[in-house]
A and B are shown apart, each in its own frame.
Chain A
Amino acid sequence: MRNTIIFGFSLLITLTFTVGCDKVETPLPEPAVLNLNDSITFPTVDSVNLNRGFKKTYVEEFTGHKCTTCPANTKLLLAQLALNKDRMIVTSVHAGSFAQVDDFGGYPTDFNTPYGTLLFQNFTTASTPIPSAIINRRSFDNFNNLMIFNNATTFWTDPINFENSNTSTDIALGVEADFIDSLNLFYIQVSAEALTDLTSTYRLLVLCVEDSIVAPQLDSEADESIYPHKIVTDYIHSHVLRGKLNSDQSIAGDPFISGTIPSGEWLDYKLNAEMPANVLNKENATIVAVIVNEITGEVIQSEETHVHVVE
């Protein structure tokens, strides 16, 4: 008996010591040193033709390649986008359990990003159905004060249409992005014009999104005779979030506006960043710029531009 107890204790002590402590030497990875070339100029934003008439509708769709109902709902979202392509911006955020990589199950592609996971955790709970979407990161009092939309509550089509019908904006926004292939470096210029006196605090989010990625997707509507187990192996994923280019760790981006900015004042923001390593085809990359009210968390304007690749 005594030997058994002593053996048990020795095992416990050994186990405790063995699992006891993780030593972390570099908690934050050193920021990549960018090979800037001073002779390269940032692109210019066409200040004359900026959208000054309305707030664009920024839709963040939470999805995943193992989500069987996602393709049908995404199809509806893309159809709505096609009809309102000048008024809407869509980013597909792959995160959560439906986005987990499953090599054996037939889902080898990792669409997850640290920023996407952070965003997903911020806006969803364990009981939030997927797919879901948030629209300009605000709640709608005419839709039961909902902030996140899905088939279980209110589908996103009507709130998006409502948001698309707005006819004013506090800020005009423009973004241009050159990608210098030889340096693996973005030169991004964001310009904004205050259309009213701005008194709150705003942040600017700059994201890299990739379109037309071919990778497996579970689809409840797939023909099983062609796609066994309803896994569409040549599914085309649209507007996939590839990463956040700002250095700030928050979901709202870098500080952009604080204090009082009078109507008519211009603000410029320049950013150099590397192309996220997960981008498969740089020709399909898009840069999305989003201005977020830091106090309310609401998106007040967004804009996107196709990346101009400089060989």
Chain B
Amino acid sequence: MKLTNLNLGLITLFSFATIIVSAQDGNLLDGVQIHGNFDLYAQQYNKDSIIGAPIVPEKSGVNAFTNLIATKGKFSAGVRLESYIPPVQGFDPRFGDETIGVPFRYASFKQDGLEITVGNFYEQFGNGMILRSYEERGLGLDNAFDGARVRYSPVKGLYVKGLIGNQRFYWQKSDGIVRAFDGEVQFNELISKWNESALRVSIGGSFVSKFQSGGTSSLDLPENVGGGAARFQMNYKDFSLMGEYAYKENDPTKSNHYIYKSGEGFFASATYSRRGFGINISAKSIDNMEFRSDREAGFNDLFINYLPALSRQHTYSLAATLYPYATQPNGEIGLQGDLIYKIKKGSKIGGKYGTTIQLNVSMINSHDREYYADQDPDAAVELLDQQVYITEDQSRKGYKANLFNIGNEVYYRDYNIEIDRKFNKKFKLKGTFAFQEYNIELIQNKASTNVLARIWVLEGLNKLSKKHSIRWEAQQLTTGQDQGDWVFGLIEYGYSPHWIVTVLNQYNYGNKNKDLRVNYPTAQVTYIHNANRLSLSYGRQRAGIFCVGGVCRNVPAANGITLAITSSF
């Protein structure tokens, strides 16, 4: 199904132009506000076989987009133009099927608690375990709906939403149709007596159904697949607790080997926080909860739902891009704990400005599964793939698993501590240590035992004067597996408020293959002026993985110039 027929895009653009011109003339549409943003990310590629940089015939890639949003009173409308000439390496080449187009356009109207949107829109129910459409540009992920959505609040404290639509699939739309509704009750708003109560409670529930034709498979495929979720949230003074349970009916897909087992997901999080102290414990278990609007889709395509991540999103380069965890939607069980404590300023240990300590632990394992077809999971999956009739499993459930039975296979461990201390008005230091265990065979499909990595980071900020500052980072990662040990160094000079100059290098000094003990130097200049930001860099980009919220994409190695421009108005 074609998403952007040119006429539709041009009509939308023309309508927009009309609105803008009319607004400028001060005629019919006086008071229309236009705002938006622009983003361009371009890379130039040089040959660099030693780092494994792919050869790009075009020698460059450009991703660009602009949002234009017009609002007036109860109305709003918007378009987004996107351009890929061709896509930057690491983004799906299918973005290059069209060099420029309008994949996102909508019109919306809001009045008396009723909001109607026609066209493209994003939506999330609860944590997203049963429905979340969103855009994450860095991942090349955009599963926007194209259809209609209604939100309504008949009384204060009661909120309902309903939607129907297809999802974006690069420059096309998915074959599957998604229909969904969600209801939420905020008791403290609904019941006037509870308005001022310290205990705040809300509950919600969702139902989502997708339709996709069964095609010609030898299997009797369910064309309508339904799922639902129930959630609650309560806050009492410094304490909050939330939980969500999601369930999905039989949904045989390519990635679950066309099994008809229902899917389940559970997520709970408890937080206590007061001044200088915070603790959070989150638990999650998901089994066969991948929910897409096309049963044949793979990678990050056409997800209807989102499964919250239970691993810390690191920001330092070595910790963030070498072994980041990607959520396993077919099944995982995990626990995460976060503790933040600020040692009082003026105390002996805390120093003059206080010291902040942050501890984080993530543990994620497989489920304990019992396959029907064979005791060996690989053999069982092979039989499922061959679509062999299994007498003991006539309904093709595939395996038995309890949502809370932990399996032996370690998917991920991350134990990390961060200490942040300001020594004086001109100097601040942050130290981080992380120990990670990473199932590289599962996550990156590399034949290896689990990677055991130790990561040390030291970051300093020296304020030289009111306008001048130096920020620096020193990082080291040591491991006996995969590519071995790395070091990373960065120096950044800031000339406030406009200029930042950065020089960095990373070196794979511990690679068992001496030919791959390579430096990755990069220099970057950034200029910031109001809402405009421009950065230009030259150097080597290490191959790695970029993840946001447990959703990841591969970043290939590159050598060349990178230009990034962002602007908003």
Contacts and interface: CB of A to CB of B under 8 A. Distances in A.
A24 interface: yes
Contacts, number: 87
Contacts of A117: 216
13 contacts: A1-B112, A5-B114, A9-B160, A15-B179, A19-B179, A21-B225, A21-B249, A23-B250, A24-B220, A27-B396, A28-B220, A28-B389, A31-B389
B472 interface: no
Interface in B223-278: 223-226, 249-250, 252, 258, 260
A5 B209 contact: no
Closest 10 CB pairs of A and B: A21-B226, A20-B209, A20-B226, A22-B222, A27-B396, A12-B162, A22-B224, A27-B219, A249-B218, A21-B249
Contacts of A24: 220-222, 250, 260, 395
B513 interface: no
Nearest to B219: A27
Contacts of A264: none
A53 interface: no
A27 B181 contact: no
Contacts of B218: 28, 114, 249
Interface string A247-283: 0110000000000000000000000000000000000
Interface of A: 1-2, 5-6, 8-9, 12-13, 15-17, 19-31, 114, 117-118, 121, 248-249
B389 A30 contact: yes
B211 interface: yes
A28 B222 contact: no
Contact of A26 (B152, B209, B220, B222): B220
Contact of A22 (B223, B387, B389, B395): B223
B539 to A, nearest CB: 43
Among A5, A15, A16, A30, find the residue whose CB has the most chain B CB atoms closer than 10 A: A16
A10 B179 CA distance: 14
B260 A9 contact: no
Contacts of B150: 8-9, 12
B181 A30 contact: no
A193 B179 CA distance: 57
A27 B180 contact: no
B225 A22 contact: yes
Contact of B209 (A2, A21, A28, A248): A21
Contacts of B396: 27-28
B95 interface: no
Given A23-B249, A24-B260, A16 B207 contact: yes
Given A12-B181, A19-B179, A21-B224, 12 more contacts: A5-B154, A12-B150, A12-B162, A16-B162, A16-B207, A22-B225, A24-B250, A28-B220, A30-B391, A31-B389, A249-B386, A249-B387
B249 A26 contact: no
A22 B396 CA distance: 15
Contacts of B389: 28-31
A62 to B, nearest CB: 15
Nearest to B222: A22
B92 to A, nearest CB: 23
B224 A20 contact: yes
A12 to B, nearest CB: 5
Contacts of B180: 16
B402 to A, nearest CB: 22
Given A9-B150, A249-B387, A19 B220 contact: no
A22 B162 CA distance: 21
B394 interface: yes
Given A24-B222, A27-B260, A5 B162 contact: no
Given A5-B114, A6-B154, A13-B162, A26 B179 contact: no
Nearest to A117: B216
A118 B217 CA distance: 8
Given A5-B114, A6-B154, A16-B207, A21 B222 contact: yes
